[in-house]
Structure 1
């Protein structure tokens, strides 16, 4: 018997959203102080995503049915406010013509289940959809998660085991900060 099974759900029932919100907060909450770009959806944004049937939720569940992880996947790129759908359409015109461009909004696994099995089960579920569609897919990872947890390498390894796939870095954004320490006088003058 497998320790996890994955269901694909279009809409999380209203009476279950709080359970998913707690999982999300447990997994993403610490990023509030680890990344400059906002990594954590506000509760109303999270709820909207959970009830939006255009966003598939690949939910990892224990045998008891308790959710321990969620990956969101959509081909309705306008549901992802932090990306440019026009970029993907221009970059992948053949996929756009077939309506086969997707975006992974987030993947989370509760810290108590981070041994990798739930993560792998959800990614396998997502990959099955993407392979069937011969899709193009985008996702993002903040620098903290990449540096601390090597998420990009982990995802690439999982993808390479499951499909014939080409993974490339499409874009990056570097954030800067300046801390002024003097009295405002210019140097040398």
Structure 2
């Protein structure tokens, strides 16, 4: 197991969360990702009913981080049932990773969040290293995504890659890009 340091949160892997934990995480989820409503063209935030469904769907593993007082301080979601992730194509994964698909070793990381006052602590490290430990044991492939703002401004893609290299022998590759365009119309074509 990766060294998570002193004072690290307790990480549990849960398939279904109780109502009060879901409510606490919904609040934290909104606080963490609210700015993406104006930063990313595609919708990156689940609606509350979608969030509740994911938190109670046993096919989605919830890596729950709690501090010493039992308060929720972080959460990561991970699934091997790609049908639970409506914005990805399970067929793409089966085509590109047939051996992993045959072994049921294809995963998708939905999101990771950490309470604001815990962001400079070991919470993120503890959750991700717990996930990576399992992925390494299974010699799995795991997908995840970032919008342009998170990738280019916050540099989460390179930061995640650096973190993964600290934890495991891993190859990370940007495998697909979705580019959104806008066309701002101001009138009929200009005549020559």
TM bracket, shorter-chain basis: over 0.9
Pick from 160, 167, 191: which aligns with 1:188? 191
Q: Does 1:18 align with 2:23?
A: yes
Q: Which residue of 1 aligns with 2:160?
A: 155
Q: Paired residue for 1:166?
A: 171
TM-score (norm 2): 0.93
Provide the rounded CA distance (Å) in 2 between the counterparts of 1:80 and 1:185.
42
Superposition deviation, residue 15 in structure 1: 2.8
1:35 aligned to 2:40? yes
Aligned to 1:61: 66
Output one character per residue of 1:109-147: Cα deviation in whole Å (capped at 9) or x when no partner.
122211152111111011011011100110001111112
Q: Deviations over 1:81-131 (max 9, x none)?
A: 110011001010000010100000111112221115211111101101101
Task: Map 1:90-169 onto structure 2 (within 5 A).
Answer: 90-169=95-174
Q: Does 2:87 correspond to 1:82?
A: yes
Contact 2:114-2:124 at 8 Å conserved across structures: yes
Q: May I ask how many residue pairs the two structures share in their alignment? A: 187
CA change 1:116–1:83 in 2 (3 A) is farther
Work out whether residues 8 and 126 of structure 2, in 8 Å CA contact, stay in contact via their aligned partners in 1.
no
Distance 1:116 1:153, change over 3 A: farther
Moved over 4 A (4+): none
The range that moved more, 20-29 or 110-119, is 110-119
RMSD, matched Cα: 1.2
Measured in 2, the distance between the counterparts of 1:122 and 1:69 equals 8
